[in-house]
Chain A
Amino acid sequence: MEQDFLLLLPIFFPMAAGILTLALAKAKMGRKAKLTVVFGALVLELLFTILCLMRGDVSVTLWQLTDTIRISFHVDTISRIFAGLSVSVWLLVGCFAFSYMSHEEHEERFFGFYLIVEGALTALSFADNMVGFYVFFEVMTFTSLPLVLHEMTKPAIMAGLKYLFYSVAGAFMALFGIFFLAGYGAIGSFQAGGILDASATAGHEGLLLASAFMMIIGFGTKAGMFPMHGWLPTAHPEAPAPASAVLSGVITKMGVLAVIRVVYYVIGPDILRRTWVQTVWMILTLTTIFLGSMMAYKEKIMKKRLAYSTVSQVSYILFGLSLLHPAAFIGAIAHVIFHSLVKNTLFLGAGAIIYKTGKTKVAELRGIGKEMPVTIWCFTLVSITLVGIPPTSGFVSKWYLATGALSSGTGVFSWLGPVILLISALLTAGYLLPVTIHGFFPGADYDYGSLEKREPSALMTVPMILMTMGAVALGMFPGVILNAASAAAELLF
């Protein structure tokens, strides 16, 4: 196979830049100069990644770790979607963070690890086999940990440890599956439709399904799937807002990517169809969707509410994947992108509010729309998107998810799924829209005299506006994404 070493650039460049940023902590440079370095790295990384994504299906082998384990990378459609998403979001949220992090300490440490994680994410998107994927999955866990720990308060430390232990536990459950499937060829290069050696697995179906299940649950931990979701509502809100945004918006998606690779590119959807694994998986995702929305509805603290919303929304994606049906698969992929844009904007909005007013509870946000109109307008538009009201993008992905479910032939789940999606959409409206309503319409008894202009700087608003535009516009022009997703789906089914 032809080696294309250019692929290594978007993986190792941000890591190197991150280490450099960490080293700058002691350097006597102005804040501006340091941030320029970070900004330059983020922009270059975006360019490098786009350059790689345009080169067609290329691959490169980095290193033969052991006789059977190869660290190698390959670009396919799924890689393009995930890598493109993560580097774009990374740049935008990075810009927001330039302004936001000015009220936090240890900025070099934050941006250093922020860049290193970006490299790990690109590596995950490009990974070509299960063990290589696993390697960078662990790298991502450990390098994103300092982002959660950043504020070093007692709750932040506890949340960081919880994040770490859940993630490691999940990764090891996945590794358990890898151990057992390695003998059946599961550590070879990913291929649409699965790579297991059918003659070797014959007679070992029980073991195969158990391993698949362990891998789904294990990698599902990062995606916040019940029963391993517990870390998410604790850890995401404790991080500084830009970190919460990317943790919820992008890093959870790497759990989704892992499940896609396991189910569709290693084991193969046909093996899992109509087995207990699929049934249990559907039950778990539907439970997560419902529970997450309920918890978000009940939650009073803004960022925690958004974190519960993530739990629920990422399981929309996983539910779509669990149906093992082309339309649902397309819906899931589309929802990866839409939810990422939406959730990043929501968290950035919450961050902007904290940055400007210090308010963390939903109840405190009365009249906020009068003070920060741009922020709350963005917040409102992406809320509507998340609820799934046409013509926003959330409608498109949910449409595909629902039609996929109805035609998936999964018995009771084919109608139960859409019903739960609908209930969850109502709950989503219930937990997001009050912010808008009370923000813009504080009521007659509100003291309008105390209002002051608190709109954050352009560094904060522009990323939010761009992502909001993306989330809304992609609903009207979803062609690009749907075409890419159906191209991937065509190979799989």
Chain B
Amino acid sequence: MNQLLLVAPVLLPIAGGILMLMIPEKEARVHPIFTELIVLASSAMIWAVLFTGREQGNGAVLFSMAGNLKVFFRMDGMGAVFSGLVSVLWPLATLYAFEYMEGDRRGREFFAFYTMTYGVTLGIALSGNLVTLYLFYELLTLVTFPLVLHDRTKEAIRASRKYLYYSIGGAAFAFIGLVFVLIYGSTADFTLGGVLNKGVPGFDTNVILFMYVLAFFGFGVKAALFPVHSWLPSVSVAPTPVTALLHAVAVVKSGAFAILRLTYFSYGADFLKGTWAHYVVLGAVLVTIVYGSTMAVKEVHFKRRLAYSTISNLSYVLLGAVMMSAAGMAAALSHLVFHAFMKICSFFCAGAVMHQAGRNYVYELDGIGKKMPVTLACFTIAGLSLTGIPLFAGFISKWNIAQAAVGLGGIPGFLAAGVLLYSALMTGIYMMTVVVRAYFPKEGYDETALDGVKEPGWRMLTPIVIFAAVILFFGLYSRPLFHFLQQTAGGSGI
């Protein structure tokens, strides 16, 4: 009974999703209610654990496969952050999806898999060891695959295939890293500081480091690390709720989350710090940031531009992670949380524009701010925050990452701070051009073309406004959250 609270939120949405596929297609009115209930129930359970503190720190073994290959859930500080994050985002994103997907022929399938993804993501958040993490990581690919495929257009089919190959390939590399942790580690359970045991016969530092790099890039596929990022801009053909929640938060953050687990809880930051492996992954992360934000400036498709922005921002999280210090980990977690709100908010705004006005390209957005003032105001907030303008959440996390970089010192620290600011400038360019266009259309634009365009309904607007409010809130008041993250990174967390 005690362990149910940890297992149920994971299993309920998965079961609910399967059940949903059995509800007859014609009962379309039932789907939204059923979906929202399941999602809310799971979130409620997560919140119960978070706020009462019950079951925190305790483990819940679902089953054991062999020996120490247990499927095992536990909510520690990091798990609390990630599960708390998705438990807030999911119900709101689902609400948004109801309006966005209205009248879609395959709505039932969509919501079925969307709900299942929730369970799987919580599985990743709550996994207590690398094996469980790996299991749910693979599952995540499988349940999100149909969502990318959703439109069944040629583009969607190609994108989903690419997604599948990249993800499975990446997981295979991650698996190699996992095996080495199992062999050379004292336990597979996540322990802050790492579990490697140098006393095990055959322990060769360089081989282990090589395995870490492999696993880093393996998990890095989902975190859209250069050069294994290219699936992410492609899958923006999926419906916006998928792009926004899965490809800006759940899936990509699972990749970053897995890397954080791998780095700080399996291999151990102290073991990695200053080795060649450290510099290899740091280099890859820096290249990704520069690449992602530069490409975003070049890209004129609205959603793909945001996808490139995700690539660079995910690597901000990883940049924090590869500082190999407690400060770096706390900074990474803070950006993981804040970026989620910023990016989902901007994607939802882009989706609202697509849905209401049918405009997909940045150069088509002239004057849209007059017709959809609330949406564009929220987009502006998200954009300023992504750029890292103070009084918005993005500034806080970038400050933290930069301070961690300065703490690393030397040329790498200098480079990291430089890259961060270069990317911030690019972010300013690719976000603010949209805002300026929307509010200050060049003279001579066709005003009548936007006739009849209006704000979306409350189900789409509510999440957008809430997310924008959260960005402002954290921009001004992030200290309690950051203290919690510091505790988590310092190991004294629950």
Contact = CB atoms under 8 A, between A and B. Distances in A.
Interface of A: 63-67, 69, 131, 134-135, 138-139, 142, 145-146, 149, 152-154, 157, 160-161, 164-165, 168-169, 172-173, 175-176, 179-180, 182-183
Nearest to B392: A138
A380 B325 CA distance: 63
A144 B428 CA distance: 16
Given A63-B476, A152-B443, A183-B406, A175 B421 contact: yes
B390 A161 contact: no
Contacts of A66: 396, 399, 478-479, 482
A153 B390 contact: no
A165 B429 contact: yes
B331 to A, nearest CB: 11
Contacts of B405: 179
22 contacts: A66-B396, A66-B399, A138-B389, A142-B384, A152-B440, A152-B442, A157-B442, A160-B436, A161-B436, A164-B428, A164-B436, A165-B428, A168-B425, A168-B428, A173-B421, A175-B421, A179-B399, A179-B402, A179-B405, A180-B414, A182-B403, A182-B406
Contacts of A138: 389-390
A102 to B, nearest CB: 19
A355 to B, nearest CB: 20
Contacts of A154: 442-443
Contacts of B424: 168, 172
Contacts of B418: 176
A50 B306 CA distance: 47
A170 to B, nearest CB: 10
A203 B115 CA distance: 57
A157 B440 CA distance: 8
B387 interface: yes
Interface in B376-393: 384, 387, 389-391
A138 B392 CA distance: 12
B275 interface: no
Given A152-B440, A160-B436, A179-B402, 4 more contacts: A139-B391, A152-B441, A182-B406, A183-B406
Interface in B414-443: 414, 417-418, 421, 424-425, 428-429, 432-433, 436, 440-443
Interface of B: 384, 387, 389-391, 396, 399, 402-403, 405-407, 414, 417-418, 421, 424-425, 428-429, 432-433, 436, 440-443, 476, 478-479, 482
A271 B478 CA distance: 35
B381 to A, nearest CB: 12
Contact of A149 (B389, B390, B440, B476): B440
Contacts of B482: 66-67
Given A152-B440, A152-B441, A164-B428, A172 B391 contact: no
Contacts of B384: 142
A154 B436 CA distance: 12
Nearest to A153: B443
Given A135-B391, A179-B406, A64 B417 contact: no
Q: Which 10 A-B pairs have the closest CB atoms?
A: A135-B390, A172-B421, A179-B402, A168-B428, A149-B440, A138-B389, A154-B442, A169-B425, A179-B417, A153-B443
Given A142-B389, A182-B403, A160 B440 contact: yes
Chain B binding surface, main DSSP class = helix
A173 B476 CA distance: 23
B454 to A, nearest CB: 16
B151 to A, nearest CB: 35
Nearest to B400: A66
Contacts of A153: 442-443
B436 A149 contact: yes
- B403, B406, B428 — most chain A CB neighbours (10 Å): B428
Chain A binding surface, main DSSP class = helix
Contacts of B436: 145, 149, 157, 160-161, 164
Contacts of B478: 66
Contacts of A168: 387, 424-425, 428, 432
B249 to A, nearest CB: 24
B386 to A, nearest CB: 12
Nearest to A164: B432
A207 to B, nearest CB: 8
Contacts of A173: 421
Contacts of B390: 65, 131, 134-135, 138
A67 to B, nearest CB: 7
Nearest to A138: B389
Nearest to A69: B399
A289 to B, nearest CB: 28
A179 B442 contact: no
A160 B433 CA distance: 10
A309 B440 CA distance: 29
A162 to B, nearest CB: 11
Contacts of B406: 179-180, 182-183
Nearest to B413: A180
B408 to A, nearest CB: 12
Nearest to B486: A67
A208 to B, nearest CB: 13
A433 to B, nearest CB: 36
A63 B428 CA distance: 26
B28 to A, nearest CB: 40
Nearest to B416: A179
- B389, B421, B432 — most chain A CB neighbours (10 Å): B421
Nearest to B428: A168
Nearest to A210: B414
B407 to A, nearest CB: 8
Contacts of A142: 384, 389
A200 to B, nearest CB: 12
A152 B436 CA distance: 10
Nearest to A168: B428
B417 A176 contact: yes
Contacts of B402: 179
Nearest to B427: A168
B58 to A, nearest CB: 31
Contacts of B442: 152-154, 157
A142 B390 CA distance: 12
Contact of B403 (A135, A169, A176, A179): A179
A64 B424 CA distance: 24
Nearest to B398: A175
A138 B479 CA distance: 22
B453 to A, nearest CB: 19
A368 B478 CA distance: 59
Contacts of A176: 417-418, 421
Given A154-B443, A157-B436, A179-B402, A67 B479 contact: yes
Contacts of B403: 179, 182-183
A202 to B, nearest CB: 15
A139 to B, nearest CB: 8
A186 to B, nearest CB: 11
Contacts of B476: 63, 65
Contacts of B428: 164-165, 168
Contacts of A131: 390
